[in-house]
Structure 1
Amino acid sequence: MTRVRRTPRFADLPTLAGRDERHAWDVWGRADEIGTLNLIGGEQRRAAADAVRTGEMISLTLPLNEPDPGLFDDRDLYRHVIEDTAAGHDDKLDGFYLQGSSQWDGLRHINAGRHGYWGGRSEDDLATTDVLGVDRWAAHGFGGRGVLVDVAGHLDARGTPLAPDQPVEITAAMLDEVATAQGTEFRSGDILVVRTGWTEWYRALPAEHRARLRGTIGSGFACPGLESSKDMAAYLWDREFAAVAVDNVGVEVFPVNRDKGFLHRRLIALQGMPLGELWHLPRLARVCAERGHYDFLLISGVLPLPRGVGSPANAHAIV
């Protein structure tokens, strides 16, 4: 299939004033609020339906009470309160962090320093309006053709398994190598899903080991992830991915290499790209390998939450 570009190449995007960082704020206009989800419309959704071959539906997300314990000291697990009523029960969640489990990071999550959030919005813009809330994604609809790049499965088959507790950088070349081995071709508007095997490894750890990892983000924690350089930002933009989701803690490799920069800032604030974290992918990987196809219809039920910074992913693959 011949791909027709729908956006400028990364190298042709303008740079921020005083910084060698490229931004896509003018691609859909500075009033835009959904970023790269603009790449998914009716045509892309109709084409995504062609990836459904059996109709099997696979959850891509952890239970809401996992990871257990949470990895951040300041994010305690929610409290689930069940209340008796005359007719039965109601329930609510207290202290529910939307970034606590399988999630999407929204466009309010990360800024580009003094240059602001997606489109150049300021802190005051976010404080006084509903701009850039995840409800904008919910209204647009979050779904399209998903493509799994099973890095963990590929390296296992090669006899060089990925170490889940080491800062292994997944480069653009590695993503292409795995996609080629799978026979996977990318299309404009795809939602890229990358498997490192991290959530599976974490869930299998003894409780005392998991407890020792709590609070270590930023102080010794390490895991594989996407390389954080501008080269990776260019790769993801130039292939016109609508979103990227990974089964690790923060999409990019940990610890972050400050010399290469922060991929979150580049993708969310400057490219308007949704980032999914802590996805759970073993069943999807197994089914894709068995059928020899790594594309599927991906549907994500993002919360219609005004001013929402993030959302549970509520994601399913229909294969």
Structure 2
Amino acid sequence: MTDVRRTPAFADLPTLPDRDERHAWDVWGRGDELGTVNLIGPEQRVAAARTVRTGEMVSLTLPLNEPDPGLFDERACYTHIVEDTPAGHDDRLDEFYLQGSSQWDGLRHIKAGRHGYWGGRSEEDLAATDVLGVDRWAEHGLGGRGVLVDVAGYLAARGTPLRADEPHEITTALLDEVAAAQGTTFRSGDVLVVRTGWTEWYRALPADHRARLRGTIGAGFACPGLESTKDMAAYLWDHEFAAVAMDNVGVEVFPVDRAKGFLHRRLIALQGMPLGELWHLARLAQACAERGSHEFLLVSGILPLPRGVGSPANAHAVL
């Protein structure tokens, strides 16, 4: 658990008026636009800096043109246009989807049905103002202590490796088991980083296999991820994680079990938690294993985009 509790326990959060779903809209006030990023302050950043030993910097993100092709039909790959100028060149990206590669889902991304977005905001609120744009996170800064829970590495070492194309549910018990085996403890304000090995598997597939996966989200696509239960939502809240990032397509397991609920809705709309997707964690996992520690300084350069729904992660671990 966390060292010093700074938020109410999940069990003490109120529920929505007509749904048995808990929300944190009053924890930092209804006007809040940061969500759990509030848990990262100067104290957490200073503590995170103390984890740096060698100064090695490891990128945690894919090239912008990966995954290739993307999994979502509606998210086409950008076109990179380089223009000649008298002094050299300018360039631009056309049809650039901010959530097409390694990215963060922002607080404008998902709503809790008719109850609205983070803080109970309506569609009209978002249309009329810049509220909840990813620029709010950019201004505050999203960086602090990262902790890698290498589920893929742990299960492979046990002789029971994850299959990247099967819906293996990562439970709260498994997260605790892997963390304990690594000697990893959690602190309030941590960014939880979970490795399933999915991006590594996808990149190694033949081009024709990758092409067949495009457009299959919601139509037979499967991959390991966090279980989408209320227990998982409670676990992430009660550990006071500032954010969760994974190397799979959507953090939670696919396909989504509607009987268990949609973790995106619980975490983004009701708990205000950033979700990172499609991160590339192979090099980080190797470096952490070699040095015998899975904590690091995590820095993420979120785009200062008013009204931004998501942002490329631009994330690095400093070891």
Shorter-chain TM band: over 0.9
- Match of 2:247? 247
- Match of 1:287? 287
- Match of 1:220? 220
**Aligned to 1:143, what secondary structure does the other structure show?**
strand
Distance in 1 separating the partners of 2:67 and 2:292? 30
- Match of 1:184? 184
- Match of 2:35? 35
- Match of 1:156? 156
Distance in 2 separating the partners of 1:206 and 1:275? 29
- Match of 2:165? 165
For residues 60-95 of structure 1, what are the alpha-carbon distances to aligned partners after superposition, in whole Å with 9 as ceiling and x for unaligned?
Answer: 000000000011111110000000000000000000
Structure-to-structure mapping, 1:75-154, within 5 angstroms: 75-154=75-154
Q: CA deviation at 1:204?
A: 0.1
Q: Which amino acid aligns with 2:133?
A: G
Q: Is the 8 A contact 2:104 2:277 kept in 1?
A: yes
Identity across aligned pairs (percent)? Answer: 83
Distance in 2 separating the partners of 1:316 and 1:180? 24
Q: Which amino acid aligns with 2:250?
A: G
Structure-to-structure mapping, 1:240-319, within 5 angstroms: 240-319=240-319
- Match of 1:20? 20
Distance in 2 separating the partners of 1:168 and 1:64? 27
**Aligned to 2:288, what secondary structure does the other structure show?**
helix
Q: Which amino acid aligns with 1:175?
A: L
**Aligned residues: CA RMSD:** 0.8
Distance in 2 separating the partners of 1:72 and 1:143? 28
Q: Which amino acid aligns with 2:302?
A: V
- Match of 2:174? 174
**Aligned to 2:149, what secondary structure does the other structure show?**
strand
How many residue pairs get matched?
319
- Match of 1:44? 44
Q: Is the 8 A contact 2:248 2:279 kept in 1?
A: yes
For residues 179-229 of structure 1, what are the alpha-carbon distances to aligned partners after superposition, in whole Å with 9 as ceiling and x for unaligned?
Answer: 000000000000000000000000000000000000000000000000000
**Aligned to 1:305, what secondary structure does the other structure show?**
coil
Q: Which amino acid aligns with 1:34?
A: L
For residues 137-193 of structure 1, what are the alpha-carbon distances to aligned partners after superposition, in whole Å with 9 as ceiling and x for unaligned?
Answer: 000011000000000000000000001000000000000000000000000000000
For residues 45-65 of structure 1, what are the alpha-carbon distances to aligned partners after superposition, in whole Å with 9 as ceiling and x for unaligned?
Answer: 000011101100000000000
Q: Which amino acid aligns with 2:156?
A: D
Q: CA deviation at 1:245?
A: 0.1
Q: CA deviation at 1:248?
A: 0.2
Q: CA deviation at 1:2?
A: 7.4
Q: Which amino acid aligns with 1:88?
A: G
User: Is residue 72 of structure 1 aligned with residue 72 of structure 2?
Assistant: yes
Distance in 1 separating the partners of 2:250 and 2:264? 8
**Aligned to 1:181, what secondary structure does the other structure show?**
helix
Q: Which amino acid aligns with 2:159?
A: G
Which 5+ residue runs of structure 1 have no aligned equivalent? Answer: none
Q: Which amino acid aligns with 1:271?
A: Q
Q: Is the 8 A contact 2:60 2:317 kept in 1?
A: yes
Distance in 2 separating the partners of 1:147 and 1:20? 31
Q: CA deviation at 1:267?
A: 0.1
Distance in 1 separating the partners of 2:74 and 2:48? 39
Distance in 2 separating the partners of 1:299 and 1:75? 26
Distance in 2 separating the partners of 1:254 and 1:2? 29
Deviant stretches of 4+, over 3 Å: none
Distance in 2 separating the partners of 1:16 and 1:137? 26
- Alignment TM-score, normalising by the size of structure 1: 0.99
For residues 86-115 of structure 1, what are the alpha-carbon distances to aligned partners after superposition, in whole Å with 9 as ceiling and x for unaligned?
Answer: 000000000000010000000000000000
Which 5+ residue runs of structure 2 have no aligned equivalent? Answer: none
Closer, same or farther: CA 2–232 of 1 in aligned 2, 3 Å? closer
